């Protein structure tokens, strides 16, 4: 009997031991080997978990280029139920199937969020330029009725990214970020930098990458679209504050050809009294293409660059200048980097040493991109940038071709060696490394001037580098304008909050033909498109006019008193009036991980808004419904790319069109359910949950304010910091309770990171019709000791009630 009992005990111990060996609990989660595949579940926080899979017997140790967060100590439980291993934090339940290795995710209430597909992981042996590795993929199952957003910026015009296939390789007008958020309240970041396919079909959703030693992704539970974006920023870095002047109006074109022309544009704006905060110098200030991106003013048309910068600063404007990710063979940078193997030998822009079009291949430019993955190469890049341009006082960087341009592509180009392996392995992270190199170096030498980078491409985590991404060299067409809205919204939902577009589109040459003076700015076809694009640009994180062929400065479109000039000026003035609102919203982006351009699904539980691709919220209060169809002129179809767009002579002339821009037109807009809305222009109140038709004019697009909103309006100025905010208009839109926090600091340094800033909280109680202005919190040098608030209450019937309030940093109640 004793022997039988001992035998039973031995069998039980053996079974328990074999079961226990199926997985190993770690300090951060658990590991297991299942069907020859290693699997690790690792909590980075209660809301974020990392899933890694790799072929058993191989090593998979990866230092992420995007992720900056290290795992925080997270309380979690581990329990086994048959073939299932359950890991539970305070925010989610992760289930690992110990039989097939599939992982599923639930919230703490047991609601299913996302499931890996059974046998959905794939590892295909791959020879990566002589290194044995894998192509890796993972399939997931999504609910048929959930919407997903993000995945970077594409020009397809879609809002929800369901039923799409994306070939993720960075391009001129497409920026890929392998991260999406779901209306079910979660986000998924596929942490891989090689060319990747994202494919969503009714039966499966797939990420598949060319190169990877293993599968590596992060799942995060945010509870909402906002919350999931906040998790992504927690994982990959927070967005810093931009200087106040970056939120003003910016003028640019391809390109100002002399120092006198550049300075003259700023002078003209000042003479006209039209607000302007910055001007941008595009390429070729360095001279010929063999000196491409020399980061010096070698062009004889710019003889006194320091004086040029000082002249612009003396007019209270700022200068941003074009720099590239490549160098011509006669530059100092090329000659220093080339012997060290720091250049990537593939076709890039420009293709010829001659400026004429088409490129003369008999005289190749020899321009090559540099290797930004190499820390020494990034050091060299900054050393020349600092000496040649930053030392002159230039205020920011226009980092062009950060994807970079990859022309005449050959598959063997991916075999090129970088500091971190093959170019294929790290391809899509090129913009992250290039932008990050400049940002980190500037932060290392100056805390008085905030980093501001305008860049053409982006990757996950780039928000931490003080960069605003623009949508590339898009066409000057109505369809292109329509595409920009969902492009910008999905980009913002990829965790990167700062985005803008070339106002008017980049390639506008077709509007010149048929006009005697060669100026498409006098062509009504282009005038209407430009005005509507500018109105949209007023409500983006950066308001920047730019493009080729058609000059974009306001005075090219006419003069004061004429409909087009006045419409342009009206939008620019509105932008400046909203600066207190915009700057405070920027603070909520930095402090609270908020988003400035907001898809309607972020704020409204209204299924009708999930796929709306032509409206959005700007901040939490303003609904923007741009006019994106021609109302006064016929729409012109323009199709170009980065090659054909430069060809000026192969299109038909436009016919002159007689247009009366003083006529009234109409447009439709959908107002989300769950709140009431006020027409910004007339104060007419509408109930949400309906589509309305309202009158528009060339100087006015549909614009609404959510009931319960509190919006500060600033003084009329010619540049952002011309006047202190000592007499703000505070508009209160009744119909719901509301709050707003007015943020102020020194406008352009990093002292805010040390707590040197102030906030004033406004709270509206709709029932008692009382506005409470709280005690001011915080201080900074130069802050106002006393100010006026001109409070304007907008009632449901459109009537206004106005009161003057003297505020001395102490609580005030206004009834």
Say how many Å lie between the first and final Cα of the chain, rounded. Answer: 90
Angle CA 55–413–282, to nearest 5 = 120
The H or E element that residue 706 is part of is strand 703-706
Q: Phi and psi dihedrals of 359, rounded to 5?
A: -60, 140
Classified as helix, coil or strand, 222 is coil
Is residue 456 within 8 Å of 756, Cβ to Cβ?
Answer: no
d(Cα 276, Cα 299) in Å, to the nearest integer?
26
d(Cα 266, Cα 675) in Å, to the nearest integer?
43
Sign (positive or negative) of CA dihedral 119, 122, 123, 126: positive
- Beta pairing, strands 396-400 & 453-455: parallel
CB-neighbour burial class of residue 410 (10 A; exposed 0-12, middle 13-18, buried 19+): exposed
d(Cα 242, Cα 450) in Å, to the nearest integer?
7
d(Cα 142, Cα 508) in Å, to the nearest integer?
41
Classified as helix, coil or strand, 385 is helix
DSSP state of 475: B
d(Cα 575, Cα 717) in Å, to the nearest integer?
11
Contacts of 796 (CB under 8 A, 6+ apart): 676, 685, 734, 735
**Active-site residue numbers?**
400, 403, 473
Q: DSSP letters of 746-780?
A: -SSSSGGGGT--EEEEEEEETTTTEEEEPPPB---
Is residue 581 within 8 Å of 728, Cβ to Cβ?
Answer: no
- 597 forms beta bridges with 618
HSE-up of residue 62 (Cα within 13 Å, Cβ side)? 24
Q: Phi and psi dihedrals of 208, rounded to 5?
A: -140, 120
What is the number of H-type helices and E-type strands within the chain? 12, 45
Q: DSSP letters of 594-659?
A: --SEE-GGGT---GGGTT--S-EEETTTEEE----S-SSSPPPP----TTGGG--SSSPPPPP---
Strand order in the sheet with 812-814: 738-744, 758-765, 770-773, 812-814
d(Cα 285, Cα 296) in Å, to the nearest integer?
8
Is residue 48 within 8 Å of 54, Cβ to Cβ?
Answer: no
- Using left for φ > 0, alpha for ψ between -120 and 50, and beta otherwise, residue 151 falls in left
- 31 forms beta bridges with 24, 40
Angle CA 573–702–674, to nearest 5 = 120
3-state secondary structure 272-336: HCCCCCEEEECCCCCCCHHHCCCCCCCCCCCCCHHHHHHHHHHCCCEEEEEEECEECCCCHHHHH
- Beta pairing, strands 812-814 & 770-773: antiparallel
Contacts of 581 (CB under 8 A, 6+ apart): 619, 621, 622, 711, 712, 713
Tell me the two tokens of residue 577.
């009036």
Query: What does the radius of gyration of the chain's CA atoms come to, in whole angstroms?
Result: 28
b/e burial code for range 516-543 (CB count within 10 A of at least 16 → b): eeebbbbbbbbbbbbbbbbbbbbbbbbb
């Amino acid at each position: 009997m004793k022997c039988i009992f001992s035998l039973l005990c031995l069998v039980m111990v053996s079974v328990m031991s074999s079961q226990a060996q199926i997985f190993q609990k770690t300090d951060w989660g658990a590991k297991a080997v299942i069907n020859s595949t290693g699997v690790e579940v690792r909590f980075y926080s209660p809301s974020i978990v990392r899933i890694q899979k790799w072929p058993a017997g191989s090593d998979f140790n990866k230092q992420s280029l995007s992720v900056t967060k290290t795992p925080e100590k997270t309380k979690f439980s581990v329990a086994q139920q048959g073939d299932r291993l359950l890991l539970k934090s305070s925010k989610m339940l992760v289930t690992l199937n110990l039989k097939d290795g599939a992982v599923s995710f639930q919230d703490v209430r047991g609601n299913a969020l996302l499931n890996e597909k059974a046998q959905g992981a794939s590892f295909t042996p791959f020879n990566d330029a002589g290194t044995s590795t894998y192509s890796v993929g993972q399939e997931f199952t999504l609910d048929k009725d959930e919407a997903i957003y993000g995945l970077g910026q594409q020009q397809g015009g879609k809002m929800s990214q369901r039923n799409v296939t994306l070939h993720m390789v960075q391009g001129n007008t497409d920026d890929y970020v392998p991260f999406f958020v779901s209306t079910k309240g979660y986000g998924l970041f596929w942490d891989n930098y090689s060319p990747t396919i994202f494919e969503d079909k009714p039966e499966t959703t797939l990420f598949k990458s060319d190169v990877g030693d293993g599968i590596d992704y992060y799942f995060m539970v945010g509870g909402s679209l906002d919350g999931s974006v906040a998790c992504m920023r927690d994982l990959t870095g927070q967005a810093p504050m931009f200087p106040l002047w970056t939120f003003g109006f910016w003028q640019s074109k391809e390109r100002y050809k002399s120092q006198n022309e550049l300075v003259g544009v700023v002078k003209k704006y000042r003479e006209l009294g039209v607000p302007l905060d910055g001007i941008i110098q595009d390429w070729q200030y360095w001279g010929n293409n063999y000196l491409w991106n020399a980061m010096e003013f070698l062009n004889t048309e710019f003889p006194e660059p320091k004086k040029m910068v000082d002249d612009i600063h003396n007019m209270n404007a700022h200068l941003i200048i074009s720099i590239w990710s490549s160098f011509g063979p006669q530059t100092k940078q090329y000659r220093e980097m080339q012997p060290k193997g720091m250049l990537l030998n593939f076709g890039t822009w420009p293709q010829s040493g001659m400026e004429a079009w088409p490129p003369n291949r008999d005289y190749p430019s020899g321009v090559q991109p540099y290797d930004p993955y190499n820390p020494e190469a990034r050091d060299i890049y900054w050393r020349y940038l600092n000496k040649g341009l930053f030392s002159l006082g230039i205020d920011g960087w226009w980092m062009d071709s950060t994807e970079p341009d990859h022309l005449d592509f050959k598959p063997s180009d991916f075999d090129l060696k970088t500091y971190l392996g093959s170019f294929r392995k790290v391809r899509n992270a090129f913009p992250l490394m290039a932008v990050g190199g400049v940002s980190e170096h500037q932060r290392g030498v100056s805390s008085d001037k905030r980093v501001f980078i305008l860049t053409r491409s982006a990757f996950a985590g780039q928000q931490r580098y003080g960069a605003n991404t623009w949508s590339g060299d898009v066409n000057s067409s109505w369809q292109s304008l329509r595409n920009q809205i969902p492009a910008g919204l999905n980009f913002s939902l990829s965790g990167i909050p700062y985005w803008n577009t070339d106002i008017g589109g980049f390639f506008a040459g077709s509007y010149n033909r048929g006009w005697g003076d060669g100026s498409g700015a006098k062509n009504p076809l282009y005038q209407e498109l430009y005005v509507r694009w500018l109105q949209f640009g007023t409500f983006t994180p950066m308001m920047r006019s730019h493009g080729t062929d058609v000059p974009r400065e306001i005075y090219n479109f006419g003069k004061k008193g004429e409909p087009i000039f006045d419409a342009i000026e009206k939008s620019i003035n509105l932008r400046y009036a909203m600066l207190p609102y915009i700057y405070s919203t920027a603070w909520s982006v930095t402090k609270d991980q908020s988003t400035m351009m907001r898809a309607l699904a972020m704020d409204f539980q209204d299924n009708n808004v999930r796929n709306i691709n032509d409206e959005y919220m700007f901040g939490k209060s303003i609904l923007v419904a741009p006019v994106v169809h021609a109302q006064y002129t016929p729409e012109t179809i323009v199709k170009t790319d980065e090659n054909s767009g430069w060809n000026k002579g192969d299109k038909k002339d436009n016919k002159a069109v007689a247009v009366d821009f003083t006529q009234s037109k109409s447009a439709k807009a959908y107002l989300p359910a769950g709140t009431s809305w006020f027409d910004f222009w007339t104060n007419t109140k509408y109930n949400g949950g309906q589509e309305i038709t309202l009158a528009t004019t060339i100087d006015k697009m549909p614009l609404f304010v959510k009931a319960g909103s509190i919006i500060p309006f600033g003084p009329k100025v010619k540049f952002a910091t011309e006047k202190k905010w000592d007499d703000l208009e505070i508009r209160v839109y009744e119909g719901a309770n509301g709050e707003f926090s007015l943020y102020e600091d020194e406008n352009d340094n990093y002292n805010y990171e040390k707590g040197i800033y102030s906030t004033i909280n406004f709270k509206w109680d709709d029932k008692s019709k009382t506005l409470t202005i709280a005690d001011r919190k915080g201080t900074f040098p130069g802050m106002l000791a006393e100010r006026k608030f001109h409070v304007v209450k907008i009632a449901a019937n459109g009537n206004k009630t106005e009161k003057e309030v003297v505020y001395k940093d102490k609580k005030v109640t206004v009834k």
